[in-house]
Each structure stands twice: as structure tokens, then as C-alpha cells.
Amino acid sequence: MTNIREQLSRLVGGALSEASGIADCNPNVIEATRSEFGDYQANGVMAAAGRCGRKPRELAEAVIDGMSDEDGIVASAEVAGPGFINIRLNDQALISRGNDVLRDPRSLIPPDRQAQKIVVDHSSPNLAKEMHVGHLRGTVIGDCLSRVLERLGHEVIRQNHVGDWGTQFGMLIAYMQELGEDSSVLQAELEDLETFYRAAKEKFDSDPAFADRARLSVVRLQGGDPEYLKAWQSFIDESLRHCQEIYGRMDVGLTLADLDAESRYNDDLDGIIRELEEKGLLQESDGARCVFLPEFKGKDGEPLPVIVQKSDGGYLYSTTDLAAVRMRSFDFEADRSLYVVDARQSLHFKQVFAVARAAGMASEDISLEHVAYGTIMGSDGRPYKTRSGDSVKLADLLDEAVARAFDLVSAKNPDLAEDERRLIAENVGIASVKYADLSKNRMSDYVFDWSTMLSFEGNTAPYLLYACTRIKSLLRKQEDDSGGNELTELTQPEERALLLKALQLPEIVEVVARECYPNLLCSYLYELSGAFMRFYEACPVLKAEPNIRNSRLALASLTEQTLEQGLDLLGIKTLERM
């Protein structure tokens, strides 16, 4: 089963090619901008008319005449305006699609016709510090995209490109040695990596002898000294344990098997430099080794270097990323490689992608995509921080979300047992944080605001989760002798609107997979809940006469399935009650 829009695209596209004599014209079928004119519209006729030199309205008529609608999906098609085609779908076709889904809920989102291998680089914190609010977006957006792509049948290779090899680790190792390696003091200190980092940094800045030891540690570490490697490894393990705890709590799919640490590429970096040299791309500038590409110029028009090796021989973030592109291209043989990373790194990725292309370190057909996202801001319009100006630890943020959700749930439903309210709050709290993030256009900055994300009104997780519980409770009231889970009629416009909306999930998911904007899925789910509320207000369900009642219950059940599957793609689980 293909999604409705795709089916219409083929239907109109076929007729359009036929009528215009142009093989590759795009019928440009979209959901109708105004529902009173139809369910969908085809906007591609005008462009095709221009290319074949025919009058647009005339061509549109010919397209309508030429459509061979074997499945009987179209009830009516009409030319409008300068040459649009408005399409209204057949009720029976909608009903029968709905019933297909009710019989086999997984068929709601059919797999993509072409399965691809897709790398999703996401979360990727720097392990020197504990995960903080700056890692939230990359973690949840990346997880959502991975889920969406997997659901469409793609082979997803999650990669957590953690920073584990910079100069900071020298400082941390030196500080660990200061505290004595196996002591319980050290263990206790490591419980809070943020404080640990800060203490080390303070010492580094104030104690020159320590700073020297720290610098020496990096050299020893990167030179492969076993003692330093051991200390480093124990720090990394501890830091990763913190990350995995967060992932587990957030229900994010990253595991240790998805690690793609920078250190993984140590042995490849010499080779990267050599290859750039052989390709004639390397130049020296102030002792550093750089690649100059014509497309990168500074403000003054001066060529901008991509530095790949510092004058002291050290490698950089870009060098590692070149090695990573090569692995994703030629070892993984990926079709797409998505980098879900802060927008402030966009120049970095442009440069890495360009150098990789120029040097043949990216395969010809891999698509390299920086899935950029904006910053989470505080109400003061600056990046979100604690009152004292520190970065907000993700662990603390989640705790606060759950505590606030507990108050919310307790106010809404004080009669539930406390245990149950706690469980619900864990779900609602984390869902609210995730949803608040996913529902924003990822390119924009947004202001972090507890009261909006935890509100039962508007495009929020509590609203959607609550809508689900209402449908579930309606379905629980269904008597056992009801006539089966089948749609039979659409008597009211609200029923039809809801059914059509529910069946549109797969076409939204397809766009999210292509363009990597989870907020489209959120808006869709919000609209779907709205359509349900309108239906529920206009159409009695349990009190309706038996045929209609059964059909409406089936529609409610289809809505519930759709919400549940959509929320699951966002990494949110529905609840029985809240």
C-alpha cells in the first residue's frame, strides 16, 4: 500500500506525462490548501504547460480525462484557477484503506520502496564533561530520525561521535592522578563529572606546575603510554556510564555498540594527511598543514584554510571527521550520512564535506547532510543556563521535568495511587521535554519554558498523551458484543475529516525522513488530535445506533493507532490513564 499522496502523484503524473508528452514532469500533488475545494490539489500542470506550449487549463482538462483511476480512489477532479486540479477522494476508498489499517496496524506506514543504508550521527557529547542541555536537541532529534528511518525499512547505523581525545583529557588524567588512582575519593569525585571538570580546570588555571603535568599527560596519552591510557579509559568508561544512564532514562536507542569515538580514528589520521598530500591539496601556512578550497573565503576575500594538522603535529576535529566520512563512505557504504549537530558547526561541516569530496574521501553517491539545529535559550534571550551561569546538566533537567510533571498529574488526577502517579510523571515529564524540542522547527533557537511544555493546552506532550488516554478510555467502554472493529460509514463531515487525517500519517513520515524536520510530525499529530476532538464533539459514539456506533468506535481505534505509532516515532510512549 502506498500513501495517498504518492498514489495520486502517480495517477496525475502518468496522465500529465501522457497529455504533455514530457516524461519527467512533476504533478506536484499536495494536500488541499482549502478543504472546501477538495482533499488534494495538483499544482504541476502550469509548469508542464509552459514546457510543452499548451494552455494550462486545457492541459489540466486533458489530464483529468486521461487519469486511469483503476482503484477508484478519486471521487471528483476539477480544474480551478489558472490550471490547478482539485481532487476529492472517494469515501469508500478511504473506508477501505482505514479497514486495511485496522486489520493490520503496521501497514499504516509502509516501507520505502528503496531501502537505504543511513548513518545517523547524533548526541555525540564531549566526554570531558557531563551531558548538559546543549546535548538535548542532538540527542532527541537524532533518535527521532533514526526511528523514522528504521520504520521505513532503512538500515540505520547510529553513530555517537563522542569527543574523547582532546587536550582536556590530559588535564583530567593529571587531576585523577592527583587524587590517587583507586581511592574512594576519586570514585566519589567522579560521581559528578561537572564538578570534577571544574575542579581540574581551576587547578589548571591557578597552578602552573599542575598545568605542566597536564600538558605532559596529553603527550603521554597520545603517545600511547599504557599507564595514561588506563587512567584515560577509566575516565571514559565513567563518563559513558553517565551518558548511557541518560539515554536509558530518555528511551533513546543509542548503545555502547554505536560508539564512534574520535579516538577510533587515531591510526587513520597520518593516512588522511598523506592522501591529501598525494592529491596535491595540502599547503603549509604558518607551519600548519591546510587545505585551501576556492569556495571558502574570509570576509576580506582572503582564502580561508581548513587546518588538518597543527604546527606541533597535532590533528584536529576536521581531520577526524574526514576519517569518519571515509569510513561511512567506503566501509559502511552508506547512501546517506546525517550529522545531527548544532548549527554553529555548519562551516565545519561545509568544509569537511568539501574537502572530502575534493579528495575522494567521500564516495560519489553518498549524500552528506548536516542536520543543523538552533540553540535552547533562557527567558533572558541568552543560551539556557542555571541561575549561577553554569550549564544545566541534562540529568538535573530531567529530574526537574519529572518533579513538575508529578505536580501536574497529581492536580489532574489526585485519586490515583501515588506509585502510579510517579510512573506517569516519569513518562510525562520526559515526553514533555522531548516533545517541546521536537515540535520546534529545528533550525530556530527556542526559549526553554517549563509552563508551556507542561501544559494540557496547545501543541504539547501532555495534550497529546491526554487525548490518547481519552480515546483509550472510550474504547474500554466498548461492550464485548460490539460488531467488530470495522468502519462502515461516514455520516458526518467530522468523521470523514478525521479518517482522512489519520490516513495521512505515512505521507508526513516520508517527508520527515527526506527533509529531517520532526516538527512536521508533531504538527500533524496535533492536528490529528484536533480532528478527533471535533469528531467527538459532533458525533455521539456510545449512544449512536449500533451500526454507526461500531463504525465510530473503529474510527476512534484507528485514531488511537495513528497517534500511538506517530508518538512512538518521536520516542514517546502513550499511557492508559493520566
Give the footprint of ligand ARG on this chain (CB under 6 A): 121, 124-126, 161, 163, 321, 324, 339, 341
Taking the least distance from each CB to ligand ARG, the nearer of 320 and 439 is: 320
Residue 352: CB minimum distance to ligand ARG, A:
8
Residue 51: CB minimum distance to ligand ARG, A:
42
C-alpha cell at 339: 550529522
Taking the least distance from each CB to ligand ARG, the nearer of 124 and 309 is: 124
Half-sphere exposure of 300 (CA within 13 A, CB side): 1
Residue 339: CB minimum distance to ligand ARG, A:
6
Residue 361: CB minimum distance to ligand ARG, A:
14
Taking the least distance from each CB to ligand ARG, the nearer of 370 and 421 is: 370
Q: Exposure pattern of 328-343 as b/e (b: 16+ CB <10 Å)? A: bbeebebbbbbbbbbb
**Which 3 state secondary structure label does DSSP give 58?**
helix
Taking the least distance from each CB to ligand ARG, the nearer of 13 and 125 is: 125
What residues does 158 pair with on adjacent strands? 120
Taking the least distance from each CB to ligand ARG, the nearer of 89 and 368 is: 368
Distance CA 343, CA 325 (A): 19
Residue 272: CB minimum distance to ligand ARG, A:
14
Distance CA 441, CA 519 (A): 6
Residue 244: CB minimum distance to ligand ARG, A:
16
- DSSP string covering 348-365: HHHHHHHHHHHTT-S-TT
Strand 155-159 relative to strand 117-121: parallel, antiparallel, unpaired? Answer: parallel
Taking the least distance from each CB to ligand ARG, the nearer of 123 and 559 is: 123
**Which 3 state secondary structure label does DSSP give 366?**
coil
Taking the least distance from each CB to ligand ARG, the nearer of 44 and 163 is: 163
Taking the least distance from each CB to ligand ARG, the nearer of 121 and 510 is: 121
Which residue from 361, 230, 220 is spatially nearest to 291, judged by alpha carbons?
361
Burial class from Cβ neighbours inside 10 Å (0-12, 13-18, 19+) for residue 57 reads: middle
Which residue from 501, 499, 419 is spatially nearest to 32, judged by alpha carbons?
501
Taking the least distance from each CB to ligand ARG, the nearer of 122 and 440 is: 122
* Residue 360: C-alpha distances to residues 165, 272, 322, 354, 363 (Å): 26, 11, 10, 10, 7
* Residue 198: C-alpha distances to residues 134, 175, 558 (Å): 17, 11, 52
Distance CA 557, CA 385 (A): 43
Residue 319: CB minimum distance to ligand ARG, A:
11
Residue 68: CB minimum distance to ligand ARG, A:
48
Taking the least distance from each CB to ligand ARG, the nearer of 375 and 410 is: 375
Decide if 395 contacts 139 (C-beta within 8 A).
no
Residue 324: CB minimum distance to ligand ARG, A:
6
Residue 134: CB minimum distance to ligand ARG, A:
8
Decide if 338 contacts 120 (C-beta within 8 A).
yes
